Chain A
Amino acid sequence: MFTFGGFGSLGVSHSSMHLGDYTLDSTMPKGAGLSEDWSTGNDSRIAGHLVAKFTPKVSAVLQVDSEYHTGNSYQPEVELASVKYAFIPDAYIRVGRIALPTFLDSDNRDVGYTYAWIHPPLELYRQLAIAHSDGVDAMYRVDIGDVGNTIKAIIYGENTIERSTSKSISKDMWGIFDTIEYGPTITHIGYQERLSDSENLQTGVTGAWVRNSDLSVGVQYDPGNWFAMSEWIQRKSTTKLSAMYVSAGYRVKKFTPYLTYSQNSQGSFLPGLPPPSSSSIRLANRAQSTVSLGLRWDFMKNTDFKLQYDQVKLSDNSNGFLANVPANVSLYGAKFHVVSAVVDFVF
């Protein structure tokens, strides 16, 4: 009735930019660059995954993940915890903590073994504001000839993300996601809405509820010996911005070299709103782009080794996603390099 498995990654990265930390996620208090010469924070984690099948229709999942986050620690957290009722094998409803299928790899972004990259392209995946939601979702899968169509709906969701100095709260989330598979081609379209608010944990000041809407589109072509994929998102809240990447790789026996270009735009403030604060302007101006060249090597069963080189370019009025940049420092237009290596495994 119970099955247990898990996955993990052990990675290090180094950045040539010494005036800011190269962090993949806003909850990471520090990273490679300013705070550390070599950092293990971005790409190291271990997780256990427990599935219980009570009946053919009723099952439950619990996934606990230890990764670097708020509090400068790897304290384990519940990543997934849900109970599922499958009406038929191709339709279910779930209640609990559920991963959001915003992107092609958003619900498996922590499982490095499942994709070629060291980690999913930062400029797009930083736009995944919420990795999981606490609520209800449903799935229905229907085939039309050789075309597979999977519809997922977030019926209700909420989420809280705590950082060292602030807290983001989301509620009233809903969304609809459609994945169409035809032979080696997968297309994915998603739309989601939520209300969000943030609280400054030092002053206790909260903002106002803001409606967020995200539209995401992805295409992947993988006939076997090579792959090409691209994803795009447009986000609207008080600002409007977009982000995208294109990536391609070629498989030669156990080796998969790949090349990725990714970028995110500057957020433009929507008309008819009060003038933005200086911190909102700073958060809106995070445009940057990255060219990544990497190699995955499947050197052992259920284990891979990857190397990646990134060249990151910050836009003219942006410090990008660099963390801990001193208040008086502007890195506008700067270029820097990141090298990363990781071993991913599943068990």
Chain B
Amino acid sequence: MKPLEIIRNCLTLPLLLAMSTVTASAHADVVVIVSAKSPITSITAEQTARIFLGKVSTLPDDGDAVPIDQAEGSAIRDEFYSKVVHKNSSQLSAYWAKVIFTGDGRPPEKLESNVAVRKAVANNPNAIGYIDKNAVNRSVRVILAP
């Protein structure tokens, strides 16, 4: 290996590492979405939290809210609940235990991936979900980027 190549490699490696860090943090950018067919253009974090905790049953346009959650233990779910709802996964399961065992409340339906949530939200004007920013396409509208 020529000295120049060694120097170039030494310079490239930290750059590659830095880029991978940037990609990793970009990967965890969660956005809240509704169907492109929905009239809603924005929502507050507080309103979103109340919908996902089942404390309110309507969207800002007064339509019935159908929140769609992601799989327990997924990074995107932890990101969403920590940024928007200010609860970690244990606090969240304690919260739902209270709702479930004092009545007949149910947590939101869960889907397994960003793509599955995007498809379900795109097809239902009442649905609201959260996905990775990179998974957004024209079928859905971003209404909150927390």
Contacts and interface: CB of A to CB of B under 8 A. Distances in A.
Given A3-B106, A84-B104, A224-B86, A114 B97 contact: yes
A183 B55 CA distance: 12
Interface stretch (B13-21, B44-52, B119-127): B44-52
A184 B78 CA distance: 19
A302 B93 contact: yes
Interface residues of A, number: 36
B80 to A, nearest CB: 14
A331 B66 CA distance: 58
Interface string B88-111: 111101110110111110100000
A317 B44 CA distance: 55
A99 B97 CA distance: 15
Interface of A: 3, 5, 7, 47, 49, 51, 53, 59-61, 63, 84, 89-90, 99, 107-108, 111, 113-115, 143, 146, 148, 181, 183-184, 223-224, 251, 254, 298, 301-302, 304, 346
Contacts of B88: 251
A7 B101 CA distance: 8
A90 B62 CA distance: 13
Nearest to A254: B90
29 contacts: A3-B106, A5-B100, A5-B101, A7-B97, A49-B101, A51-B104, A61-B103, A89-B57, A108-B98, A108-B101, A111-B98, A113-B93, A113-B94, A114-B94, A114-B97, A143-B50, A143-B56, A146-B46, A148-B56, A181-B55, A183-B46, A224-B82, A251-B91, A254-B90, A301-B72, A301-B89, A301-B93, A302-B97, A346-B93
